[in-house]
Amino acid sequence: MSERAPYGTWKSPITAERITGSTTSTEEIIVDDITSEIYHLEGRPAEKGRCVLIHSETGREIVGKEVNVRTGVHEYGGAAAIVHDGIAYYSDFSDNRLYKVAVKEGSQAKPVTPDNKAFRYACFDVHPTNPRILVSILEDHTNDTPSTVVNTLVTIDTEKQIITPLVSGADFYAFPRFSPDGTKLLWQEWDHPNMPWDISKITVADISDTLALSNVTTISKDGSNGYPVWANKNTLCWLCDVSGFINPWKYDVSTKKTSPIFPSPLKEDFAPAMWKLSFFPLAIIDEEGKFAVFKAFRDGRAVLYRVDIETGDRKELESPYVVAESMRTVSKSKGQFAFLGTKVDESERIILGSAKTDASSFTSIVASDAPSSPFDPNLVTIPRGISLKVPPNDDPLHVIFYPPHNPAYAGSSIDGEKPPCVVNVHGGPTGMAYPGLNWALQYWTSRGFAWLDVNYGGSYGYGKDYMNRLRHGWGIVDVEDCITASQLLSSPPHSLIDPKRIVIRGRSSGGLTVLGALCNSSNTSVYAAAASHFGVTDLVGLMAMTHKFEKEYGFELCGASPQNPEPFKKRSPINYVDNIKQPLLILQGDIDRVVPKEQAEAVYESIKKRGGVVEYKLYAGEGHGFRMKETQCDALERELAFYQRALGLDSK
């Protein structure tokens, strides 16, 4: 029989130890383009965050026990491995070299690149008629400062360990791909000061038998163009936001014609912001290259379409998955594709989809938290997407609300009590919170907390205008949107949470939002406590110390420049630390290159010096994002205890 207890004090079987101990993460899906066998990269917190290449159906490890399949290209990585005709090629994070190994048991790995830790590789593709040759991104850190790191495309002779320059001149490259007949090469490129979702272009070139390029042609329109793929030897597809929404486009090699796939734009975004090279939102599903499955966002949830590339006709597939990532072609003859799918009440799984006709089917291949979900599914609280109207113009503000839920409790024992709420600010800031099941989130709701994800102005997935709300507004728009969402949901007509017991947390850029809400906002008293996970505190310092990929990201976000750093100073929480009155928890990795530990320590020392309530935990060996089991477990338990003390909750 269910009991009653004050919100925020409920006992829960969802423990930090069980979340981090039994759970792995699937980083990306990899499909052998010859055999159609499915593999994946599995992150293991219990093994210090090591990534392992796994044969998905059998669970067999392909690489050695000490190998960490990961790349540091763009710092955020992704696309660290491929499998082609039974041979795996992967980047080992320990030495940054590229290796190859046969996927059959007992095979020994061999390096295929020279021993040079300054070279980082990602986004490989095998030449279709000369399989000893790979094309790859090479990120050269020989001169390891943001201004002197060099990105190029190269070919790799995997038999001779010879690296040959192929394309250079742009600041960044992604997704180099040979055409099916090996006569052409496509790639995506962009330059500072842009991020790939601002302005980027798609280029195609002829490539000879001697791997020389000619007839290099930019085929894309203005705006952001990304995620290119060959549909067949004559047609390639990608995603472009020139209409105001990211929609599918195509290019015909023979006619040299570029055109949108849909007759008229669809007001849905078909791609995420490309933070990682493993992100991919489409898959070709037939041998002629006529049909593809595309993922789009609608109201913050994934939607899958089967699209006729020639005519633009589309059919929405019936899918229970609210999150669909890392989409890959499996079998063109069978119309099969794979993706990482998450439901509102089911953890992330590798899903095999079939859409040879308009009738689709989906089968789970493996659970990322195998062998099964570690907790009773009845513990899951179901998210509720809400589009708030922000005065004075009723501009939309998209949030996801999770009410407290635990079948062992019928509610609060305090008559009329509203629950405390954890407001979560996603990172990026060009990011997005998804509504798929996350046991770390359920850790809170099963203890009687409400949870609120705020997809503030600047989040992707809602069109270019919504994303551009953050242009020149970082540290203002995101902060005020979080405050507005908290105030609206804690007052009529919503009245879902206790206005006096709202806490706010955020990672990375979300940490800047958290700190800004406490010390540099229209109302610094909305939140009762806060936690900053490796959060940005000093924008001037960040821009001076951050890595190449984000070296100029902050200028456009804040409307600043090297000659005019004033907007950075005005948005930097470090300059307003004396305004922070609420208890603050700071969690930080000691080898973080994106947000160095010095930023966290400056805030901590300032608050501590004046006698404020602040707690600081530095985790050894952790970078930008906590990968180790021990760190993840401690961080979750530490944050809960911190809020319970700050809110006066008795959990005993």
pLDDT at 651 (0 to 100): 53
Residue 531: pLDDT above 70? yes
Lowest-pLDDT range, 6-15, 270-279, 316-325, 356-365?
A: 356-365
Distances in Å between the alpha carbon of 160 and those of 132, 157, 193, 567? 9, 6, 37, 51
Chain-centroid distance, C-alpha 79: 13
pLDDT digits (tens, 9 = 90+) for 395-419: 999 999 999 999 999 999 999 999 9
Coil, helix or strand at residue 482: helix
* CATH of residue 551: 3.40.50.1820
Ramachandran class of 74: left when φ > 0, alpha when ψ lies in -120 to 50, beta otherwise: left
Q: Is residue 596 part of a domain?
A: yes
SS3 for 592-650 is: CCCCCHHHHHHHHHHHHHCCCCEEEEEECCCECECCCHHHHHHHHHHHHHHHHHHHCCC
324 DSSP β-pair partners: 341
Burial class (CB in 10 A: 0-12, 13-18, 19+), 160: exposed
pLDDT at 1 (0 to 100): 67
Residue 110 main-chain phi, psi, to 5 deg: -130, 140
Residue 587: pLDDT above 70? yes
pLDDT at 372 (0 to 100): 54
Burial class (CB in 10 A: 0-12, 13-18, 19+), 65: exposed
Residue 19 main-chain phi, psi, to 5 deg: -65, -50
In angstroms, rounded to a whole number, what is the distance separating the alpha carbons of residues 424 and 439?
Answer: 15
Into how many domains does the chain fold? 1
In angstroms, rounded to a whole number, what is the distance separating the alpha carbons of residues 517 and 423?
Answer: 11
189 DSSP β-pair partners: 173, 201
pLDDT at 201 (0 to 100): 98
Residue range of the domain that includes 435: 383-647
pLDDT at 22 (0 to 100): 62
When pLDDT is averaged across residues 28-48 and rounded to a whole number, the result is 93
Q: Are 403 and 450 in contact (CB under 8 A)?
A: yes
Q: Are 478 and 437 in contact (CB under 8 A)?
A: no
55 DSSP β-pair partners: 39, 60
Q: Are 533 and 508 in contact (CB under 8 A)?
A: yes
pLDDT at 359 (0 to 100): 79
pLDDT digits (tens, 9 = 90+) for 96-149: 999 999 999 888 999 999 999 999 999 999 999 999 999 999 999 999 999 999
Q: Is residue 166 part of a domain?
A: no
pLDDT digits (tens, 9 = 90+) for 113-125: 999 999 999 999 9
Element (H, E) at 455: strand 450-455
In angstroms, rounded to a whole number, what is the distance separating the alpha carbons of residues 98 and 197?
Answer: 28
Token pair of 259 as six digits = 């055109």
Q: Are 228 and 177 in contact (CB under 8 A)?
A: yes
Q: Is residue 61 part of a domain?
A: no
DSSP annotation of 277 reads: T
Peptide bond into 404 cis (omega under 30): no
Q: Is residue 14 part of a domain?
A: no
Q: Is residue 154 part of a domain?
A: no
Q: How confident is the model at residue 624 (pLDDT cuts 50, 70, 90)?
A: confident
323 DSSP β-pair partners: 342
Peptide bond into 146 cis (omega under 30): no
In angstroms, rounded to a whole number, what is the distance separating the alpha carbons of residues 236 and 259?
Answer: 11
When pLDDT is averaged across residues 578-600 and rounded to a whole number, the result is 91
State the CB neighbour count (10 A cutoff) for residue 411.
Answer: 17
Token pair of 8 as six digits = 């925020």
Cα Rg of the chain (Å, integer): 24
In angstroms, rounded to a whole number, what is the distance separating the alpha carbons of residues 606 and 45?
Answer: 33
Q: Is residue 519 part of a domain?
A: yes
Cα pseudo-dihedral 545, 550, 551, 555, rounded to 10: -110
Lowest-pLDDT range, 43-47, 211-215, 404-408, 638-642?
A: 43-47
Q: Is residue 136 part of a domain?
A: no
Q: Are 258 and 219 in contact (CB under 8 A)?
A: yes
584: closest CA among 537, 646, 529, 525?
529
Round the average pLDDT of the chain to a whole number and report it. Answer: 94
Chain-centroid distance, C-alpha 438: 14
pLDDT digits (tens, 9 = 90+) for 451-491: 999 999 999 999 999 999 999 999 999 999 999 999 999 99
In angstroms, rounded to a whole number, what is the distance separating the alpha carbons of residues 115 and 120?
Answer: 11
Q: Is residue 560 part of a domain?
A: yes
Q: Are strands 614-619 and 584-589 parallel, antiparallel or unpaired?
A: parallel
pLDDT digits (tens, 9 = 90+) for 288-342: 999 999 999 999 999 999 999 999 999 999 999 999 999 999 999 999 999 999 9
Q: Which residues contact 438 (CB under 8 A, 6 or more apart)?
A: none
Q: 0.75 exceeded by the pTM?
A: yes
Token pair of 384 as six digits = 């509720």
340-359 burial string, b = 16+ CB within 10 Å, else e? bbbbbbbbbbbbbbbbbeee
Coil, helix or strand at residue 75: coil
In angstroms, rounded to a whole number, what is the distance separating the alpha carbons of residues 295 and 298?
Answer: 10
State the CB neighbour count (10 A cutoff) for residue 452.
Answer: 24
pLDDT digits (tens, 9 = 90+) for 166-207: 999 999 999 999 999 999 999 999 999 999 999 999 999 999
Residue 370: pLDDT above 60? no
DSSP annotation of 33 reads: T
Residue 616: pLDDT above 50? yes
pLDDT digits (tens, 9 = 90+) for 351-361: 999 999 877 89
